[in-house]
Amino acid sequence: MSVLEIRDLHVSVGEGDDAKEILRGVDLTVRSGETHAIMGPNGSGKSTLAYSIAGHPKYTITGGTVTLDGEDVLAMSVDERARAGLFLAMQYPVEVPGVSVSNFLRTAATAVKGEAPKLRSWVKDVKTEMAGLEMDPAFAERNVNEGFSGGEKKRHEILQMRLLKPRVAILDETDSGLDVDALRIVSEGVNRTRADGDVGVLLITHYTRILRYIKPDFVHVFVNGRIVEEGGPELAEKLENEGYASYVKGSTEVASA
C-alpha cells in the first residue's frame, strides 16, 4: 500500500515583496485504494496544491512536508516524482508539436519504469486502453494534444494514467470543458484504474457532476488555501444544495480576525 502524506503545507507564488501565500497549512493523507475529492470555489488554491505536489517551479514551498511512502517528495526533481509514482492530469494539457502520441507514451513509460516496454505487448496495451476510452486508433500518430478537442485532451490524460500505472493520481479538474459523453468516458477510465485497488486518487473539482460517476470515499472542502471541512460522499451532496458561500464567509471572517 502506498501513502501520500501532506503535513502543514504552505506555498507561495512570486518573490520578495510580491510573494503571495496561496496554501496556508494543508494536511491530507491519501492511501492506495482511496479516492479523495477536493472541492472549492475558484481561486481557493486547489490547483496550486496539485502543481506543488508535482513540482511546478512557479510555486515555492515555504513550510510543511510532502512524503510518498516515507520518501521526501519535496526533495525530488519533477522526473523523480514521476518515477516514484506520482501522476498529474493537468487542467489545461499542453500541446507538444512534432511528438506523436505513441512516441510520447512509450518514452514516458520508459522513463518512469526505467526500461522500454516490450513493443508487442506495449502496442496491444495502448490499443486496448484507447478502445476503452473510445479513442480513434489514428490518434496514436497525431502530435500530442495538437488540434485535440477539450474532451480528446482529457482522454489522453487518462490514457497516460492507465498506461503508466502510478501509485497516486492527481486529477486537476479533469471534468472541465467536458460534455456529458466525454465526462462518462473519462470517468469510466478513472474507475477502471480505481478497481485495480493499488492507486490513490486525488480528484480536484468545482462541481459535483463528476462525482455522480466517480464516487469519492472522502470529500474535502478547500477555501482560502486550506481545508475547512471534511466528510464522506454526503458532503458533496451538501455542497450541491448549498454551494460554498457559507465556507467562504467563515474563512474570510477567520482570516480577518
> Over the stretch 174-210, which tens digit does the pLDDT of each residue have?
998 889 999 999 999 999 999 887 899 999 998 888 9
Task: Give the model's pLDDT for residue 40.
Answer: 92
Q: At what angle do helices 101-113 and 119-132 cross, to 10 degrees?
A: 120
User: Max Cα separation, the chain?
Assistant: 63
| Strands, E assignment, 113-217 | 143-144, 168-172, 200-205
Scored b (16 or more CB within 10 A) or e, 103-135 reads ebbbeebeebeeeebeeeebeebbeebbebbeb
Mean pLDDT of the chain: 92
Catalogue all structural domains in the chain, each as residue range(s) with its CATH number. 3-96+167-256 (3.40.50.300)
Q: 236 φ, ψ to 5°?
A: -65, -40
- 202, 169 in Cβ contact below 8 A? yes
pLDDT grade for 113, boundaries at 50, 70 and 90: confident
Residue-wise pLDDT for 133-160, tens only, equals 999 999 999 999 998 888 899 999 999 9
3-class SS at 87?
A: strand
The residue count for the chain: 257
Output the pTM of the full model. 0.91
